[in-house]
Protein backbone atom coordinates (compact mmCIF):
# COMPACT_ATOMS: atom_id res chain seq x y z
CA UNK A 1 0.00 0.00 0.00
CA UNK A 2 1.43 3.37 -0.94
CA UNK A 3 1.86 6.23 1.51
CA UNK A 4 -0.93 8.25 -0.15
CA UNK A 5 -3.44 5.40 0.17
CA UNK A 6 -2.39 4.72 3.76
CA UNK A 7 -2.72 8.43 4.61
CA UNK A 8 -6.17 8.59 3.00
CA UNK A 9 -7.28 5.47 4.87
CA UNK A 10 -6.15 6.82 8.26
CA UNK A 11 -7.61 10.25 7.46
CA UNK A 12 -11.05 8.77 6.74
CA UNK A 13 -10.82 6.55 9.84
CA UNK A 14 -9.91 9.55 11.99
CA UNK A 15 -12.77 11.64 10.51
CA UNK A 16 -15.32 8.92 11.32
CA UNK A 17 -13.94 8.61 14.85
CA UNK A 18 -14.20 12.36 15.46
CA UNK A 19 -17.73 12.51 14.01
CA UNK A 20 -18.80 9.59 16.22
CA UNK A 21 -17.43 11.22 19.36
CA UNK A 22 -19.11 14.53 18.52
CA UNK A 23 -22.45 12.78 17.86
CA UNK A 24 -22.23 10.96 21.21
CA UNK A 25 -21.38 14.18 23.04
CA UNK A 26 -24.35 15.95 21.44
CA UNK A 27 -26.76 13.18 22.49
CA UNK A 28 -25.70 13.21 26.16
CA UNK A 29 -27.94 15.03 28.64
CA UNK A 30 -26.49 17.81 30.75
CA UNK A 31 -24.74 16.81 33.97
CA UNK A 32 -26.81 17.33 37.10
CA UNK A 33 -26.14 17.77 40.81
CA UNK A 34 -27.38 14.40 41.99
CA UNK A 35 -28.75 15.20 45.46
CA UNK A 36 -30.86 18.23 44.61
CA UNK A 37 -31.94 16.93 41.20
CA UNK A 38 -33.18 13.70 42.81
CA UNK A 39 -35.23 15.69 45.34
CA UNK A 40 -36.65 18.02 42.66
CA UNK A 41 -37.42 15.13 40.28
CA UNK A 42 -40.11 13.89 42.69
CA UNK A 43 -42.20 17.00 41.94
CA UNK A 44 -41.64 17.13 38.17
CA UNK A 45 -44.55 15.78 36.11
CA UNK A 46 -42.44 13.87 33.57
CA UNK A 47 -41.44 10.22 33.70
CA UNK A 48 -39.87 7.72 31.30
CA UNK A 49 -41.61 4.54 30.21
CA UNK A 50 -40.07 1.66 28.31
CA UNK A 51 -41.84 0.85 25.07
CA UNK A 52 -41.18 -1.63 22.31
CA UNK A 53 -39.59 1.12 20.21
CA UNK A 54 -37.43 2.55 23.03
CA UNK A 55 -38.48 5.11 25.63
CA UNK A 56 -41.51 7.38 25.87
CA UNK A 57 -41.87 10.52 27.97
CA UNK A 58 -45.15 10.63 29.90
CA UNK A 59 -46.70 13.75 31.40
CA UNK A 60 -48.20 12.51 34.70
CA UNK A 61 -50.68 15.41 34.76
CA UNK A 62 -52.38 14.61 31.47
CA UNK A 63 -51.16 11.10 30.67
CA UNK A 64 -49.95 12.20 27.24
CA UNK A 65 -47.02 10.30 25.76
CA UNK A 66 -44.25 11.76 23.67
CA UNK A 67 -42.10 9.41 21.59
CA UNK A 68 -38.95 11.22 20.46
CA UNK A 69 -36.24 9.35 18.58
CA UNK A 70 -34.08 7.13 20.79
CA UNK A 71 -31.04 9.40 20.53
CA UNK A 72 -33.11 12.45 21.50
CA UNK A 73 -35.13 11.09 24.48
CA UNK A 74 -32.86 12.36 27.26
CA UNK A 75 -32.34 15.73 25.56
CA UNK A 76 -36.10 16.16 25.16
CA UNK A 77 -36.69 15.17 28.81
CA UNK A 78 -34.12 17.77 29.90
CA UNK A 79 -35.86 20.37 27.73
CA UNK A 80 -39.29 19.62 29.26
CA UNK A 81 -37.91 19.60 32.82
CA UNK A 82 -36.09 22.90 32.28
CA UNK A 83 -39.24 24.58 31.00
CA UNK A 84 -41.39 23.19 33.82
CA UNK A 85 -38.78 24.02 36.48
CA UNK A 86 -38.36 27.58 35.27
CA UNK A 87 -42.10 28.13 35.78
CA UNK A 88 -42.52 26.19 39.05
CA UNK A 89 -39.25 26.55 41.01
CA UNK A 90 -38.17 29.68 42.80
CA UNK A 91 -34.97 30.24 44.80
CA UNK A 92 -35.49 32.14 48.05
CA UNK A 93 -32.37 32.57 50.18
CA UNK A 94 -30.97 29.03 50.51
CA UNK A 95 -34.15 27.19 49.58
CA UNK A 96 -35.88 26.11 46.41
CA UNK A 97 -39.63 26.63 46.63
CA UNK A 98 -41.65 24.22 44.47
CA UNK A 99 -45.05 25.46 43.29
CA UNK A 100 -47.81 23.40 41.71
CA UNK A 101 -49.76 24.37 38.58
CA UNK A 102 -52.07 26.54 40.72
CA UNK A 103 -48.98 28.48 41.92
CA UNK A 104 -49.33 27.13 45.47
CA UNK A 105 -46.20 26.16 47.38
CA UNK A 106 -45.97 22.38 47.82
CA UNK A 107 -42.40 21.91 49.10
CA UNK A 108 -39.18 23.59 50.09
CA UNK A 109 -35.73 22.05 49.50
CA UNK A 110 -32.56 23.37 51.14
CA UNK A 111 -29.63 24.24 48.84
CA UNK A 112 -26.60 22.68 50.57
CA UNK A 113 -23.68 23.73 48.35
CA UNK A 114 -22.71 26.51 45.93
CA UNK A 115 -22.50 23.84 43.19
CA UNK A 116 -26.20 23.06 43.71
CA UNK A 117 -27.08 26.76 43.43
CA UNK A 118 -24.98 27.00 40.26
CA UNK A 119 -26.74 23.93 38.84
CA UNK A 120 -30.15 25.51 39.51
CA UNK A 121 -29.08 28.73 37.79
CA UNK A 122 -27.54 26.98 34.81
CA UNK A 123 -30.03 24.15 34.26
CA UNK A 124 -33.36 25.79 35.15
CA UNK A 125 -32.41 29.45 34.73
CA UNK A 126 -33.62 30.35 38.24
Which strand ranges, in their side-by-side order, compose the sheet holding 95-99?
Answer: 89-92, 95-99, 105-110
Q: Do 125 and 87 form a contact (C-beta atoms < 8 A)?
A: no
pLDDT grade for 3, boundaries at 50, 70 and 90: confident
* Tens-place pLDDT, residues 16-53: 888 888 877 777 777 888 999 999 999 999 999 998 88
pLDDT grade for 1, boundaries at 50, 70 and 90: low
Provide the residue count of the chain. Answer: 126
User: What integer pLDDT is reported at residue 59 of this predicted model?
Assistant: 94
Q: Where do the structural domains in the chain lie, given as residue ranges?
A: 1-30, 31-124
Amino acid sequence: MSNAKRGLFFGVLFAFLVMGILAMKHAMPQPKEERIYKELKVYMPYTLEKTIGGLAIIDKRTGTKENPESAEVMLRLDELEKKWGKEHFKVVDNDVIINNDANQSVAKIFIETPKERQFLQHFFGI
